[in-house]
Amino acid sequence: MAIASNLGFPRIGDRRALKTALEAFWSGRAGEGELIAAAARLRAEHWNRQRRLGISHIPSGDFALYDHVLETACMLGAIPPGYGWTGGPVPLATLFALARGARGTEAGIAPTLPALEMTKWFDTNYHYLVPMLAPDQRFVLTENRPRAAFEEALAHGVRTRPVLLGPVTFLKLAKREDGGDTLALLDALLPVYAEILTGLAEAGAHWVQIDEPCFALDLTEAERSALSRAHAALAAAAPRLSILLASYFGPLADNLPTALALPVAGLHLDLARGAADLDAVLEGARADLWLSLGVVDGRNVWRTDLRAALATLRRVADRRGTRRLMVAPSCSLLHVPMDLEAEDALDPEVKSWLAFAVQKLAEVATLARALDEGEGAVASALKASDAAVAGRRGSARVHDPAVAARAAAADPPGRSAPYRDRRIVQRRTLALPPFPTTTIGSFPQTEAVRRLRADREAGRIDDDAYTEAMKRLIAEAIAWQEEIGLDVLVHGEFERNDMVKYFGERLSGFAFTKHGWVQSYGSRCVAPPIIWGDVARPAPITVAWTAYAQSLTTKPVKGMLTGPVTMLQWSFVRDDLPRETVCRQIALAIRDEVDDLQRAGIRMVQIDEPAFREGLPLRRADRRRYLDWAVACFRLAAGAARDETQIHTHMCYSEFNDIIAEIAALDADVISIETARSRMELLDAFASFAYPNEIGPGVYDIHSPRVPAAEEMVRLLRIARRRIPADRLWVNPDCGLKTRRWEEVRPALANMVTAARTLRAELATE
Ligand code: GLN
Ligand code: ZN
């Protein structure tokens, strides 16, 4: 019997129930008991739901109140001192202090505590908290949480398959205070894992899923042997348990021999991203190894082509029989929205091509049944799948011949002159002072601003009233920027809800959901757009607002666009075209917007690419290709700019060293980056690489309500001057200001202008 199985279920629940419960607790509106009860309700609901969908290996322990890596660290006693943990089960106050920082009002917690560092979970948009380990870290089992979850499910009549984050991946994702090798702590860690497994066996678990997604990364020999050693030890510790080793997010490739040699009962394969492994697995897998075949894409929202998936499953079954097969999503369903049925406003045709978590599990169950009972048993599901596949493939709406032709054609010309020539023209026409001051685009999204947009959406005000109110906001912002003496102004982005959504809603080929929430971190969720068809720009998007702002001032107003790579990266992307082709289509749309802006008299255009680095593939060997097309798409978008139109770009993160050459290859005239938080450490990248164009290293950390003093920004700028020639240095905050309040922004930007003036005075005396 093929087993229908799941690797992980979305935690947030329908209508983001977990977010509601967390926020009620954090704000003091609900007590700890209520939060715990809400979480237990969600788990029970999810177990039952999966059972009703026909899943037999239902995961437990995949739930987390905030983040599964953090909760694993807490379970293992990897808790830095000062967070209020004194042994035994970890208090909620400690968990949330590690997750979000703390002011120290809770008993036992030091005055102010920073949150753990947060970073992206592999190449997804989920973020985990980075466990911080001591060089001599001791691990203890604070509480056998997987066992507790297993028993909780059992009480609901569901014998689950507990999920654990594997010891090697855990250590690889963690950091050591002294920067040392975390894998050196493996021997200290394994006994705790053994204890967890023993407890699970005692409680009656049959299968346990151990996730080691680090198998999808480039591994050193030492890391591979750590995996071998760890899993040999765990298998020996729990001989009665069947361990399913799960890797996902990419092929195992050169790590496959290591995985196949592990003494585990089963191996899960991500066949959405790692189909290339399958032949080698069929060649090399032990006859008694269970295979979990992840044929349903857990990272995207498209319906599975059931017939194609079944063909893959058959291929395996023909070789190995169906006795030791599991059918599964490619990875945890954490990365897709919950239930498509909740979408009552989606275009029905587009909707017919989609599957969210609930629908994907139904597909898994159907495929398992087809394997066992033959296609006849699932004839109607196969027919529906065929119809969806054919409908999508043949839809006249998906394919816009004009877009396809344009994207397939040779690149239109890029910028005609090199930076050093453009610079001469731009200097003359823009006439900026040394160390020009500017901002990254958005100003505070006050309650009034958001209400205005909501009122328009709900039809409470008409378009004219909305436009008038927006214009007033823009006029105030321009007047205020002139007053404090900024050199390059922005209109403030008041009309935008979200930098991707705003553009996506105005491009063809994009769809938006009402409830398509995916957890980003903790209670933070995003509803990524769905790119389902060819992308074109029916009409100018930002020109009217920007031109209006420019009409109010003689200073240059910078137009604000979201770049093609970021649009792609923060969306669910169609899977019937290569990503780079979709990216090119978006780039061409943005290119037209750049051209329309300059035709409307705008002299500077910023193309934001905060997600440029995020797109980097997990494997080094794949990075060159990505970087080549990502750079080409940005240049395509910027390429319509005349010499005198100054192109800016913005990236808000702090890991540049490995891609600095590609950042330079974007050939933006000016780049602004985040540096204030790391006190200009980031500029180290610029020490060994002479960045050829202009740079604005952020001098104002916008993530904090704190107002930096002018002297503080002067100090940062002096550090920056050691790395960047004075005539190429800009002065700006780290990022947009939409999350801040005007009471903070006003004095902070005034101080920033003062800091720039101080530097100008220093320059004059040199
Ligand atoms: N222009 C955008 C803003 O200021 C940039 C946002 C971002 O970098 N994430 O809000
Ligand atoms: Zn930013």
Under the banding of pLDDT at 50, 70 and 90, the label for residue 414 is very high
Q: Are β-strands 604-608 and 325-329 bridged in parallel, bridged antiparallel, or unpaired?
A: unpaired
Is residue 107 over pLDDT 60? no
- Give the atom of ligand 1 at the shortest distance from the alpha carbon of 441: 4
**Residue bearing the CA closest to ligand 1, atom 5:** 736
How far from the centroid of its chain's Cα atoms is residue 649's Cα? Answer: 20
Nearest atom (ligand 1) to Cα of 736: 4
User: Within a 13 Å sphere around the CA of 497, how many CA atoms are in the beta-carbon half?
Assistant: 15
Query: Among the atoms of ligand 1, which is closest to the Cα of residue 738?
Result: 10
Looking at residue 385, its pLDDT comes to 98
Query: Could you tell me the distance, in angstroms and rounded to a whole number, from the CA of residue 700 to the centre of ligand 1?
Result: 14
pLDDT of 104: 56
pLDDT at 111: 63
**What would you report as the CA-atom Rg of the chain, rounded to the nearest whole angstrom?**
27
Which ligand has the nearest atom to the CA of 608?
1
pLDDT at 305: 98
Cα 428 from chain centre: 41
- Residue 615 neighbours by CB under 8 Å, 6+ apart: 123, 565, 568, 569, 626, 630
Ligand 1 atom 4 nearest Cα: 736
Q: State the first-to-last Cα distance of the chain, in angstroms, to the nearest integer.
A: 81
CA–CA distance, 42 with 38 (Å, rounded to integer): 6
Least confident of 104-113, 278-287, 716-725: 104-113
Q: Which of 295-309, 406-420, 429-443, 554-568 is predicted with the least confidence, judged by mean pLDDT?
A: 406-420
Nearest atom in ligand 1 to 606's CA: 1
Tens of pLDDT, residues 375-398: 999 999 999 999 999 999 999 999
431: phi > 0 → left, psi -120 to 50 → alpha, else beta; which?
A: left
Give how far Cα 243 sits from Cα of 1, 299, 331, 451, 489, Å: 18, 24, 17, 53, 59
**Hunting for tokens 């699970």 — which residue is that?**
200
Question: Which residue shows structure tokens 């050169």?
Answer: 254
Q: Per-residue pLDDT for 108 more than 70?
A: no
Count CB neighbours of 684 within 10 A.
13
pLDDT of residue 681: 72
Q: Which positions ≥6 away from 470 have C-beta within 8 Å?
A: 452, 494, 495, 545
Cβ atoms 124, 570 nearer than 8 A: no
Q: Which ligand is nearest to the CA of 442?
A: 1
DSSP state, residue 651 = E
Average per-residue pLDDT in the chain? 96
Q: What is the pLDDT of residue 293?
A: 98
Distance 490 CA to ligand 2 centre (A): 15
Active-site annotation, residues: 703
Q: How far is the CA of 675 from the centre of ligand 1 (A)?
A: 15
Lowest mean pLDDT: which of 78-82, 283-287, 658-662?
658-662
Question: Ligand 2 centre and the CA of 500: distance in Å?
Answer: 13
Position 656 scores a pLDDT of 79
pLDDT at 677: 75
Per-residue pLDDT, 687 = 76
Nearest protein CA to atom 6 of ligand 1, as residue: 736
pLDDT digits (tens, 9 = 90+) for 302-361: 999 999 999 999 999 999 999 999 999 999 999 999 999 999 999 999 999 999 999 999
User: CA-CA distances (angstroms) from residue 99 to 16, 181, 223, 521?
Assistant: 19, 23, 28, 10
Q: How far is the CA of 677 from the centre of ligand 2 (A)?
A: 13
Strands 670-673 and 207-211, by their bridges, are unpaired
Of the candidates 622, 624, 601, the one whose C-alpha atom is nearest the C-alpha of residue 546 is 601
Q: Which residues pair with 694 in a beta bridge?
A: 670
Token readout for 261 is: 């040699």
Nearest CA to ligand 1 atom 3: 736
Give the mean model confidence (pLDDT) for residues 723-748.
96
Among the bound ligands, the one closest to the CA of 445: 1
Percent of the chain with pLDDT over 70: 99
Q: Which atom, in ligand 1's list, is nearest to the CA of 440?
A: 4
* pLDDT score at 601: 98
Mean pLDDT of 584-590: 98
Confidence of residue 105 (pLDDT cuts 50, 70, 90): low
* pLDDT in the model for residue 110: 52
Q: Whose CA is nearest to atom 10 of ligand 1?
A: 736
- Closest ligand to residue 701's CA: 2
Q: Residue 106: its pLDDT value, please?
A: 53
Best of 125, 439, 442 to mutate for ligand 1, by most ligand atoms within 8 A of CB?
A: 442
Model pLDDT for residues 144-201, shown as the tens digit of each residue: 999 999 999 999 999 999 999 999 999 999 999 999 999 999 999 999 999 999 999 9
pLDDT at 688 (0 to 100): 78
Q: Which of 445, 500, 560 to mutate to test the pocket of ligand 1 (most atoms within 8 A of CB)?
A: 560
pLDDT at 658: 85
User: Measured in angstroms, how far is the CA atom of residue 732 from the centroid of ligand 2?
Assistant: 11
Torsional sign, CA 736, 738, 739, 741: positive
Of 169, 200, 207, 156, nearest in space to 7 by CA: 207
Work out the average pLDDT over 519-545: 97
Please tell me the distance between residue 194's alpha carbon and the centre of ligand 1 in angstroms. Answer: 46
At 654 the pLDDT is 64
Q: Closest Cα to residue 433, out of 717, 667, 766, 759?
A: 759
Output the CA–CA distances (angstroms, integers) from residue 633 to 126, 179, 217, 405, 583, in the order listed: 25, 37, 26, 16, 7
- Write the pLDDT tens digit of every residue in 417-466: 999 999 999 999 999 999 999 999 999 999 999 999 999 999 999 999 99
Atom of ligand 1 nearest to the CA of 610: 8
Whole-number Å distance between alpha carbons of 489 and 506: 24
Task: Report whether pLDDT(109) > 60.
Answer: no
Closest Cα to atom 9, ligand 1: which residue? 610
Lining residues, ligand 1, CB within 6 Å? 440-442, 493, 499, 560, 608, 610, 650, 652, 735-736, 738
pLDDT, tens digit, for every residue of 57-75?
999 999 999 999 999 999 9
